[in-house]
Amino acid sequence: MPPLAGLTVLFGAPALPLDEAGKYVAGAYIVFAVLLVVYVAIMAFKLQRMERELSELASFAETRNDGDR
Amino acid sequence: MTPSRTAFAAILGKDLRTELRTLQSLPAMALFAVTTFVIFRFGLDRTSLAGSLASGVLWATLLFAAVLGINRLFIAEREEGGFDAIRLAPIDRSTLFAAKAAALVVYLAALELVTVPIFALFFLDTAAGLLPLLAVLLLADLGLAATGTLISSMAVNSRARDLLVPLVLLPLVVPMMIAATGATEPLLAAGGPGYDRFGSWLLVLGLYDLVFGLLGYAVFDFLLED
Amino acid sequence: MYGKGLRPLSIATAAMLAVSLALVFFYAPLDADQGFVQKIFYIHVPLSIVALVGFVVGGVFAIAHLRSGNSRWDAYSYVSIHMSVIFGAAVLITGAIWAKASWGHWWVWDEPTLVSFLIVFLMYATYYPFRYAIEDRDRQARYASVFAITAGAFVPLNFAAVRMAQSLVHPRTFGTANGGLPGEMMFVFLVCLATVALLWVTLVKFELTAKSASGQIKRLRRALDAPDSRAGSRIAPEVG
C-alpha cells in the first residue's frame, strides 16, 4: 500500500480506461520509433551520396591511370 | 594604475563620451520604450496596470529596448578597428568585455531613469513600489550587460547581425526575466508593495549575474582571436 | 577511425531496447492512479535526462575545443548538441502526449520541468542559425564553442528559475522525484535510462563516423586533384 500511496500523491490524475490509454502510450512510443527511423533514413541519403562520390572518384582515378599508361 | 585598469577607464570613458556627444542609441531606446507603453495601453485596453500585468509590460518593454542598444554596442569597434587595437595592446583582452559591459549598464540605467517614471505616470496608481524596484533593476541590468555584451560581440562579426542578438539573447535571459518579473509583481500589486520571496528572487538574479559575468570575462579572450 | 566499435555498440543498443520494451510492458507494475498512461514515463523521462546531459557534454567538448584549438572537439560538440536537440524534440512531443492523456491538454504551463525543457530547447535551437550566420569556419567553431559553454551554464539556472516561479498553489507534478517510485518501477526506469543513454552514444558515434567518411572522401578528392563537388554544409564541422 505505501509505495502506491506515494504514487497517488505524485501522479494526481484520473486513470483513463485501458483502450483509450493504450492509444496515447502507443502514440508516444511510435513517435520515438518514427524519429529513430527518420534519422536512419537521413543517414541512408548521406550514405547514397557518399557511394556516388566514391564511384565518381574511382572512375576519375581509373581514367587518369589509363591516360598515364 | 595597472595597464588593464587604464585601458578599462579609457574604453569606458570613450564609449560614454561618444554616446553623450552623438546620442545615437539612448534616445532611440527611450522613445521605443515609451511608444511600446502606448501600444500596450491600447493592446491590453487598459489605462491602469498592477501586479503581474504591470510587471510583464514593464520588463518586456525594457528588454526589447535593451536589445536595440545591445545591437549597436560594438559597431564602433567593428568599423574603426577597435578589435585590432585591443588585440595589439599589451593588456588583458577581457578588459574590453568589462568596459563594454560597464558602458551597457550605464546605458540601461539611463534608459530606466527615463522610462520607469513614465511607466509609473502612465499606468501605476502608486509609486510606492518604485524604490525597492531599483534593486531589481540594478541586478537585472548587470545580467543583461554581461550576456548582452557577450552575444553582441559575436553577432557584430556575423552576417545576420541585427537578427542574431534578439534570436540568441532572448532565450538566454529567460531565467533572469523570470526572477525580475517574479520580484516586481508583488512590488506593483494593487494594494501596495509586497515582498513575497523578494530576497530569493534577488538571489537568483545575483547568481545569474555572477555566472554570466564570470563566464563572459573568461571566454572573451577566445572571441578576439584572429 | 570513428567506426571502430560501432557494430558492438549498436548490437548492444538494439538488445537493450528490446529488453527495455519487454520490461516496460510485461514486468513493470501498473500505476494505481494514472493507469496504463504512466508507461509513457519510461520513454519520456530517460529521453529528457539524456538530452540534458548531452547538452552539458556538448559544453564540455566546447571547453576542450577552446583550450586545445583542435577542431575535432568542435565536431564532437556540434554532434552532441545536434543529437540532444533531436532527442529534445522527442521529449517535447512525448511530454505533450502524456499531458493530453493525463490532463486533457496538449500543453500545460503548470509542469515546471516541461516548461524548463521547452526554454532549453528554444535556446539550443538557435545554435544552428547562429553557426550559419558566421562565415569564417575557424571563427564559427570558436563562437559556437562559446555558445555551447554559455548555454550549458544556462541549463541549471533555467531549471531553478522556472521551478521557483511555480505557484505554490499547484503541487501537482509528474513526480520525477524518484524517491516515490516502488522498486520494480525504479528498476525498469533505470534500465530504460541506460538504454536511451546507450542509444545517444551510438547515434553520436554513427554521426561522427558518417562525417569522418565524408571527410576522407574530401581528402581523397584533394589527393587525386579531382574537381570539387558541390559545397557541403556551411555549419556542420568537418571531421577527419
Q: Determine contact: C93 vs chain A, CB below 8 A.
A: yes
Q: Determine contact: C133 vs chain B, CB below 8 A.
A: yes
Q: Is the pLDDT of residue A11 over 50?
A: no
- C-alpha atoms less than 13 angstroms from C-alpha of B153 in its C-beta half-sphere: 31
Q: Is residue C27 part of a domain?
A: no
B19 three-state secondary structure: helix
Would the CB atoms of A60 and C89 count as touching at under 8 Å?
A: no
Q: Provide the mean pLDDT of chain C.
A: 89
Q: Is residue C21 part of a domain?
A: no
Q: Is residue C61 part of a domain?
A: yes
Closest-CA residue to B74 (of B44, B99, B46, B43) = B99
Q: Is the pLDDT of residue B47 over 70?
A: yes
Q: Provide the mean pLDDT of chain B.
A: 91
Alpha carbon distance C234, C240 (integer Å) = 16
Q: What is the pLDDT of residue C168?
A: 53
Closest-CA residue to C121 (of C94, C146, C88, C147) = C88
Which chain B residues are Cβ-neighbours of C162 within 8 angstroms?
Answer: 175, 178
Q: Is residue C178 part of a domain?
A: no
Nearest Cα residue in chain A from C17: A33
Grid cell in block for residue C151:
548555454
C-beta separation of C126 from B167 below 8 A = yes
Q: Is the pLDDT of residue B186 over 90?
A: yes
Nearest Cα residue in chain B from C161: B175
Q: Which residues pair with C59 in a beta bridge?
A: none
In sequence order, which residues have a C-beta less than 8 Å from that of residue B125 and are 6 or more positions away?
B48, B50, B190
The 10s digit of each residue's pLDDT in C187-240 is 999 999 999 999 999 999 999 999 999 989 988 988 888 887 767 777 888 886
Q: What is the pLDDT of residue C4?
A: 87
Q: Is residue C126 part of a domain?
A: yes
Which chain C residues are Cβ-neighbours of B222 within 8 angstroms?
Answer: 66, 142, 145-146
Alpha carbon distance B130, B147 (integer Å) = 25
Q: How confident is the model at residue C22 (pLDDT cuts 50, 70, 90)?
A: very high
Please give the residue range of the domain that contains residue C142.
Answer: 38-167+185-218
**Mean per-residue pLDDT for C118-139?**
93
Q: What is the pLDDT of residue C167?
A: 62
b/e map of C77-107 (b: 16 or more CB within 10 Å)? bbbbbbbbbbbbbbbbbbbbbbbbbbbeeee
Q: Is residue C121 part of a domain?
A: yes
C-beta separation of C216 from C240 below 8 A = yes
Cross-chain CB nearest to C101 (options A21, A32, A39) = A21
For cell 577552446, name the residue: C66
Alpha carbon distance C167, C164 (integer Å) = 8
Q: Is residue C116 part of a domain?
A: yes
Q: Determine contact: C17 vs chain A, CB below 8 A.
A: no
Nearest Cα residue in chain A from C104: A13
Alpha carbon distance B160, C132 (integer Å) = 9
Q: What is the pLDDT of residue A45?
A: 94
DSSP string computed for A6-56? HHHHH--SPPPPHHHHHHHHHHHHHHHHHHHHHHHHHHHHHHHHHHHHHHH
Domain ranges of chain A: 17-68
In Å, how far is C145's CA from the nearest CA of chain B?
10
Q: Determine contact: C147 vs chain B, CB below 8 A.
A: yes
Q: What is the pLDDT of residue C172?
A: 45
Do B and C touch, counting CB pairs below 8 Å (3 needed)? yes
Nearest Cα residue in chain C from A27: C97
Cross-chain CB nearest to B204 (options C135, C146, C164) = C164
Q: Is the pLDDT of residue B31 over 50?
A: yes
Predicted model pTM: 0.88
The 10s digit of each residue's pLDDT in B118-146 is 999 999 988 888 999 999 999 999 999 99
Q: What is the number of domains present in chain C?
A: 1
Q: What are phi and psi of B182, to 5 degrees?
A: -60, -40
Q: Is residue C179 part of a domain?
A: no
C-beta separation of B181 from C164 below 8 A = no
The 10s digit of each residue's pLDDT in C185-197 is 999 999 999 999 9
CA dist list (Å): C188 to A27, B144, C26, C29, C179? 20, 44, 11, 10, 14
State percent of chain C over pLDDT 70: 93
Which chain C residues are Cβ-neighbours of A15 within 8 angstroms?
Answer: 31, 33-37
Q: What is the pLDDT of residue C13?
A: 96
Q: How confident is the model at residue C65 (pLDDT cuts 50, 70, 90)?
A: very high
State percent of chain C over pLDDT 90: 64
In Å, how far is B130's CA from the nearest CA of chain C?
22
Q: Is the pLDDT of residue A51 over 70?
A: yes
Alpha carbon distance C162, C125 (integer Å) = 19
The 10s digit of each residue's pLDDT in B154-183 is 998 888 888 999 999 999 999 999 999 999
